[in-house]
Protein backbone atom coordinates (compact mmCIF):
# COMPACT_ATOMS: atom_id res chain seq x y z
CA UNK A 1 0.00 0.00 0.00
CA UNK A 2 1.02 3.63 -0.25
CA UNK A 3 3.10 5.29 2.46
CA UNK A 4 0.18 7.29 3.82
CA UNK A 5 -3.52 6.99 4.64
CA UNK A 6 -4.88 10.46 3.92
CA UNK A 7 -8.14 9.19 2.37
CA UNK A 8 -9.88 5.86 2.00
CA UNK A 9 -8.99 6.36 -1.67
CA UNK A 10 -5.36 5.67 -0.76
CA UNK A 11 -6.31 2.02 -0.35
CA UNK A 12 -7.33 -0.46 -3.02
CA UNK A 13 -10.10 -2.98 -2.51
CA UNK A 14 -7.56 -5.75 -1.89
CA UNK A 15 -5.61 -3.60 0.54
CA UNK A 16 -8.74 -2.89 2.58
CA UNK A 17 -9.62 -6.57 2.69
CA UNK A 18 -6.05 -7.40 3.65
CA UNK A 19 -6.15 -4.91 6.52
CA UNK A 20 -9.45 -6.37 7.72
CA UNK A 21 -7.95 -9.87 7.68
CA UNK A 22 -4.97 -8.58 9.66
CA UNK A 23 -7.26 -6.81 12.12
CA UNK A 24 -9.24 -10.01 12.67
CA UNK A 25 -6.08 -11.99 13.34
CA UNK A 26 -4.64 -9.38 15.70
CA UNK A 27 -7.94 -9.19 17.57
CA UNK A 28 -7.88 -12.94 18.05
CA UNK A 29 -4.23 -12.91 19.14
CA UNK A 30 -4.96 -10.23 21.72
CA UNK A 31 -6.85 -12.79 23.80
CA UNK A 32 -3.63 -14.65 24.54
CA UNK A 33 -0.86 -12.23 23.48
CA UNK A 34 -1.35 -8.65 24.73
CA UNK A 35 1.73 -7.50 22.81
CA UNK A 36 2.74 -8.49 19.28
CA UNK A 37 5.98 -6.70 18.53
CA UNK A 38 5.35 -5.79 14.91
CA UNK A 39 6.52 -2.19 15.37
CA UNK A 40 9.03 -2.69 18.16
CA UNK A 41 10.65 0.61 19.15
CA UNK A 42 8.56 2.73 16.78
CA UNK A 43 7.44 6.20 17.87
CA UNK A 44 4.21 7.83 16.70
CA UNK A 45 3.32 11.51 17.00
CA UNK A 46 -0.38 12.25 17.54
CA UNK A 47 -1.01 15.76 16.20
CA UNK A 48 -4.55 16.65 17.27
CA UNK A 49 -6.42 19.89 16.58
CA UNK A 50 -9.68 18.40 17.85
CA UNK A 51 -10.60 16.62 21.10
CA UNK A 52 -10.83 12.85 21.10
CA UNK A 53 -11.67 9.84 23.23
CA UNK A 54 -11.72 6.81 20.90
CA UNK A 55 -9.14 8.00 18.38
CA UNK A 56 -6.51 9.01 20.90
CA UNK A 57 -6.91 6.03 23.22
CA UNK A 58 -7.08 3.44 20.46
CA UNK A 59 -4.07 4.78 18.57
CA UNK A 60 -1.95 5.11 21.71
CA UNK A 61 -2.97 1.64 22.86
CA UNK A 62 -2.43 0.16 19.39
CA UNK A 63 1.12 1.45 19.01
CA UNK A 64 2.06 0.30 22.50
CA UNK A 65 0.63 -3.17 21.92
CA UNK A 66 2.84 -3.34 18.82
CA UNK A 67 5.92 -2.51 20.90
CA UNK A 68 6.10 1.22 20.17
CA UNK A 69 5.29 4.47 21.93
CA UNK A 70 3.33 7.65 21.23
CA UNK A 71 3.66 11.34 22.02
CA UNK A 72 0.50 13.46 22.07
CA UNK A 73 0.59 17.01 20.70
CA UNK A 74 -2.61 18.93 21.33
CA UNK A 75 -3.90 22.15 19.73
CA UNK A 76 -1.81 24.45 21.93
CA UNK A 77 1.38 22.40 21.61
CA UNK A 78 2.04 23.14 17.95
CA UNK A 79 -0.41 25.65 16.51
CA UNK A 80 -0.45 23.74 13.23
CA UNK A 81 -0.26 26.23 10.38
CA UNK A 82 -0.12 29.18 12.78
CA UNK A 83 2.88 29.00 15.08
CA UNK A 84 4.64 26.80 12.53
CA UNK A 85 3.82 26.02 8.92
CA UNK A 86 2.45 22.56 8.17
CA UNK A 87 5.48 21.64 5.98
CA UNK A 88 7.88 22.65 8.77
CA UNK A 89 5.98 20.52 11.28
CA UNK A 90 6.07 17.54 8.91
CA UNK A 91 9.80 17.88 8.21
CA UNK A 92 10.72 18.25 11.87
CA UNK A 93 8.58 15.39 13.10
CA UNK A 94 10.01 13.15 10.36
CA UNK A 95 13.44 13.49 12.00
CA UNK A 96 12.16 12.20 15.36
CA UNK A 97 9.23 9.82 14.88
CA UNK A 98 8.24 6.91 12.65
CA UNK A 99 4.64 7.94 12.00
CA UNK A 100 2.43 11.05 12.17
CA UNK A 101 -1.21 10.54 13.15
CA UNK A 102 -3.14 13.76 12.58
CA UNK A 103 -6.65 14.81 13.59
CA UNK A 104 -7.37 18.16 11.96
CA UNK A 105 -10.00 20.47 10.53
CA UNK A 106 -8.91 21.10 6.93
CA UNK A 107 -8.11 18.14 4.68
CA UNK A 108 -5.35 20.25 3.13
CA UNK A 109 -3.37 19.95 6.36
CA UNK A 110 -3.38 16.16 6.05
CA UNK A 111 -2.28 16.19 2.43
CA UNK A 112 0.39 18.82 3.12
CA UNK A 113 1.74 16.80 6.03
CA UNK A 114 1.93 13.74 3.78
CA UNK A 115 3.61 15.66 0.96
CA UNK A 116 6.34 16.96 3.25
CA UNK A 117 6.86 14.10 5.69
CA UNK A 118 9.27 11.25 5.03
CA UNK A 119 7.34 9.00 7.43
CA UNK A 120 3.77 7.68 7.09
CA UNK A 121 0.94 10.13 7.75
CA UNK A 122 -2.45 8.81 8.90
CA UNK A 123 -5.67 10.80 8.71
CA UNK A 124 -7.23 10.32 12.13
CA UNK A 125 -10.15 12.59 11.08
CA UNK A 126 -10.48 15.68 8.95
CA UNK A 127 -13.49 17.72 7.89
CA UNK A 128 -13.54 15.72 4.63
CA UNK A 129 -12.89 12.15 5.70
CA UNK A 130 -12.46 9.65 8.54
CA UNK A 131 -10.84 6.59 6.92
CA UNK A 132 -9.78 4.87 10.16
CA UNK A 133 -13.37 4.91 11.40
CA UNK A 134 -14.49 3.24 8.19
CA UNK A 135 -11.95 0.43 8.55
CA UNK A 136 -13.40 -0.28 11.99
CA UNK A 137 -16.95 -0.07 10.61
CA UNK A 138 -16.19 -2.54 7.83
CA UNK A 139 -14.63 -4.90 10.35
CA UNK A 140 -17.82 -4.65 12.43
CA UNK A 141 -20.08 -5.37 9.46
CA UNK A 142 -17.87 -8.31 8.53
CA UNK A 143 -18.07 -9.75 12.03
CA UNK A 144 -21.86 -9.50 12.22
CA UNK A 145 -22.69 -10.45 8.64
CA UNK A 146 -19.86 -12.75 7.61
CA UNK A 147 -19.16 -10.91 4.35
CA UNK A 148 -19.18 -7.40 2.94
CA UNK A 149 -20.25 -7.95 -0.65
CA UNK A 150 -23.96 -7.29 -1.07
CA UNK A 151 -24.43 -5.87 2.43
CA UNK A 152 -27.15 -3.22 2.76
CA UNK A 153 -26.33 -0.12 4.81
CA UNK A 154 -28.53 2.93 5.33
CA UNK A 155 -26.90 6.18 6.40
CA UNK A 156 -29.37 8.58 8.03
CA UNK A 157 -28.48 12.15 8.95
CA UNK A 158 -25.68 14.47 7.91
CA UNK A 159 -23.56 13.72 4.83
CA UNK A 160 -20.39 14.41 6.80
CA UNK A 161 -16.79 13.22 6.77
CA UNK A 162 -17.67 9.71 7.99
CA UNK A 163 -20.38 9.46 5.34
CA UNK A 164 -17.91 10.57 2.66
CA UNK A 165 -15.41 7.86 3.50
CA UNK A 166 -18.15 5.25 3.93
CA UNK A 167 -19.57 6.09 0.51
CA UNK A 168 -16.20 5.53 -1.16
CA UNK A 169 -15.56 2.28 0.68
CA UNK A 170 -19.01 0.88 -0.12
CA UNK A 171 -18.57 1.52 -3.82
CA UNK A 172 -15.14 -0.07 -3.73
CA UNK A 173 -16.21 -3.20 -1.84
CA UNK A 174 -19.59 -3.97 -3.40
CA UNK A 175 -21.67 -2.78 -0.44
CA UNK A 176 -25.09 -1.27 -1.16
CA UNK A 177 -25.50 2.13 0.47
CA UNK A 178 -28.52 4.39 0.78
CA UNK A 179 -27.86 7.86 2.17
CA UNK A 180 -30.77 9.95 3.46
CA UNK A 181 -30.10 13.56 4.44
CA UNK A 182 -32.00 16.83 4.54
CA UNK A 183 -31.66 18.85 1.34
CA UNK A 184 -28.35 20.64 1.26
CA UNK A 185 -26.62 18.16 3.56
CA UNK A 186 -25.81 15.40 1.08
CA UNK A 187 -22.29 13.92 0.95
CA UNK A 188 -20.05 15.98 -1.33
CA UNK A 189 -20.67 15.23 -5.01
CA UNK A 190 -17.05 14.28 -5.67
CA UNK A 191 -17.39 11.42 -3.18
CA UNK A 192 -20.63 10.02 -4.56
CA UNK A 193 -19.36 10.32 -8.14
CA UNK A 194 -16.17 8.44 -7.27
CA UNK A 195 -18.12 5.83 -5.31
CA UNK A 196 -20.46 5.20 -8.23
CA UNK A 197 -17.48 4.81 -10.52
CA UNK A 198 -16.13 2.14 -8.18
CA UNK A 199 -19.59 0.58 -7.93
CA UNK A 200 -19.79 0.13 -11.69
CA UNK A 201 -17.31 -2.74 -11.36
CA UNK A 202 -18.46 -4.15 -7.98
CA UNK A 203 -22.24 -4.23 -8.57
CA UNK A 204 -22.85 -1.97 -5.61
CA UNK A 205 -25.69 0.52 -5.46
CA UNK A 206 -24.95 4.01 -4.12
CA UNK A 207 -28.15 6.03 -3.62
CA UNK A 208 -28.89 9.41 -2.06
CA UNK A 209 -32.33 10.69 -1.09
CA UNK A 210 -34.21 12.86 1.40
CA UNK A 211 -36.41 10.06 2.76
CA UNK A 212 -35.11 8.21 5.84
CA UNK A 213 -37.97 5.68 5.81
CA UNK A 214 -37.19 4.64 2.23
CA UNK A 215 -33.48 4.50 2.97
CA UNK A 216 -33.82 2.04 5.86
CA UNK A 217 -36.27 -0.31 4.14
CA UNK A 218 -34.72 -3.81 4.17
CA UNK A 219 -31.44 -2.41 5.51
CA UNK A 220 -29.17 -4.73 7.45
CA UNK A 221 -27.37 -1.83 9.12
CA UNK A 222 -28.57 1.68 9.96
CA UNK A 223 -25.75 4.14 10.54
CA UNK A 224 -26.05 7.63 11.99
CA UNK A 225 -23.75 10.28 13.41
CA UNK A 226 -24.07 13.58 15.21
CA UNK A 227 -25.93 16.27 13.30
CA UNK A 228 -23.39 18.92 14.33
CA UNK A 229 -19.72 18.14 13.82
CA UNK A 230 -16.81 19.85 15.56
CA UNK A 231 -16.48 23.37 14.22
CA UNK A 232 -20.20 23.66 13.43
CA UNK A 233 -21.42 24.46 16.95
CA UNK A 234 -22.96 27.77 15.84
CA UNK A 235 -25.32 25.82 13.57
CA UNK A 236 -26.47 23.36 16.26
CA UNK A 237 -29.94 24.80 16.96
CA UNK A 238 -30.77 25.27 13.29
CA UNK A 239 -29.59 21.74 12.50
CA UNK A 240 -31.71 20.23 15.28
CA UNK A 241 -34.81 21.63 13.58
CA UNK A 242 -33.80 20.64 10.05
CA UNK A 243 -32.77 17.09 11.02
CA UNK A 244 -35.65 16.27 13.38
CA UNK A 245 -37.31 13.71 11.09
CA UNK A 246 -33.95 11.98 10.55
CA UNK A 247 -33.70 10.79 14.15
CA UNK A 248 -32.89 7.07 14.44
CA UNK A 249 -35.57 5.97 16.86
CA UNK A 250 -37.58 2.80 17.39
CA UNK A 251 -40.18 3.81 14.79
CA UNK A 252 -37.56 4.27 12.09
CA UNK A 253 -35.68 1.10 13.04
CA UNK A 254 -38.95 -0.87 12.80
CA UNK A 255 -39.14 0.03 9.11
CA UNK A 256 -35.95 -1.95 8.44
CA UNK A 257 -35.37 -5.69 8.63
CA UNK A 258 -36.09 -7.49 11.89
CA UNK A 259 -32.42 -8.24 12.51
CA UNK A 260 -31.14 -4.77 11.61
CA UNK A 261 -28.05 -3.57 13.44
CA UNK A 262 -27.59 0.06 14.43
CA UNK A 263 -24.25 1.84 14.06
CA UNK A 264 -22.89 5.12 15.38
CA UNK A 265 -19.24 6.24 15.36
CA UNK A 266 -19.70 8.18 18.63
CA UNK A 267 -19.82 10.44 20.51
CA UNK A 268 -23.61 10.42 20.38
CA UNK A 269 -25.94 13.28 21.22
CA UNK A 270 -28.57 11.16 22.90
CA UNK A 271 -32.09 12.28 22.17
CA UNK A 272 -31.02 14.07 18.99
CA UNK A 273 -29.76 11.90 16.12
CA UNK A 274 -30.46 8.70 18.08
CA UNK A 275 -32.59 7.72 21.06
CA UNK A 276 -31.39 5.92 24.17
CA UNK A 277 -33.56 2.88 23.50
CA UNK A 278 -31.91 2.36 20.11
CA UNK A 279 -28.36 3.27 21.08
CA UNK A 280 -28.48 0.95 24.10
CA UNK A 281 -30.79 -1.62 22.51
CA UNK A 282 -30.11 -5.22 21.42
CA UNK A 283 -29.45 -4.21 17.82
CA UNK A 284 -26.76 -1.68 18.68
CA UNK A 285 -23.21 -2.53 17.59
CA UNK A 286 -21.71 0.83 18.50
CA UNK A 287 -19.36 -0.59 21.13
CA UNK A 288 -18.17 -3.21 18.65
CA UNK A 289 -17.32 -0.35 16.29
CA UNK A 290 -15.50 1.49 19.09
CA UNK A 291 -13.50 -1.61 20.04
CA UNK A 292 -12.64 -2.33 16.43
CA UNK A 293 -11.00 1.07 16.10
CA UNK A 294 -8.19 -0.48 18.16
CA UNK A 295 -7.86 -3.59 16.02
CA UNK A 296 -8.21 -1.91 12.63
CA UNK A 297 -5.65 0.73 13.58
CA UNK A 298 -3.25 -1.87 14.95
CA UNK A 299 -3.43 -3.62 11.60
CA UNK A 300 -2.81 -0.34 9.78
CA UNK A 301 0.17 0.57 11.97
CA UNK A 302 1.59 -2.95 11.65
CA UNK A 303 1.59 -2.58 7.85
CA UNK A 304 2.88 1.00 7.69
CA UNK A 305 5.59 0.51 10.31
CA UNK A 306 6.74 -2.99 9.32
CA UNK A 307 10.51 -3.23 9.32
Is 293 one of the catalytic residues?
yes
Instruction: List, in sequence order, every residue forming a beta bridge with 208; answer none if it has no partner.
Output: 179
Catalytic residue of the set 103, 239, 264, 295: 103
Catalytic residue of the set 54, 56, 130, 295: 130
Widest pairwise Cα distance in the chain: 55
Catalytic residue of the set 265, 289, 297, 298: 265
Is 276 one of the catalytic residues?
no
Is 270 one of the catalytic residues?
no
Closest of 47, 46, 39, 45 to residue 63, by C-alpha: 39
Q: Which residues contact 11 (CB under 8 A, 6 or more apart)?
A: 1, 2, 5, 19, 131
Catalytic residue of the set 56, 65, 127, 133: 133
Catalytic residue of the set 56, 293, 295, 298: 293
The CA-CA-CA angle for residues 134, 97, 108, to 5°, reads 50
Is residue 201 packed enough to be buried (19+ CB in 10 Å), middle (13-18) or exposed (0-12)? Answer: exposed
Is 130 one of the catalytic residues?
yes
Is 225 one of the catalytic residues?
yes
Closest of 245, 81, 63, 268 to residue 162, by C-alpha: 268
Q: Is the peptide bond before 267 cis (omega within 30 degrees of 0)?
A: yes
Question: Rounded to an integer, what distance in angstroms lies between the CA atom of residue 283 and that of residue 51?
Answer: 28
Is 133 one of the catalytic residues?
yes
Please identify every residue annotated as catalytic.
103, 130, 133, 225, 265, 293
Amino acid sequence: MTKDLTSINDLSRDEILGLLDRARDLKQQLKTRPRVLLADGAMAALVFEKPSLRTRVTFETAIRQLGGSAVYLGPTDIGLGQRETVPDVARNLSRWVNCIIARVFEQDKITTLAENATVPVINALSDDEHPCQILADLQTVLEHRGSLEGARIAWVGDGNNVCNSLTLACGMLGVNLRVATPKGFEPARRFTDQAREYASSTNASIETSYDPAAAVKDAEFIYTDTWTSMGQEDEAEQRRKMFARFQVNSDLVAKAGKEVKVMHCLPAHRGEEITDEVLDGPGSVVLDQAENRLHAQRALLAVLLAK
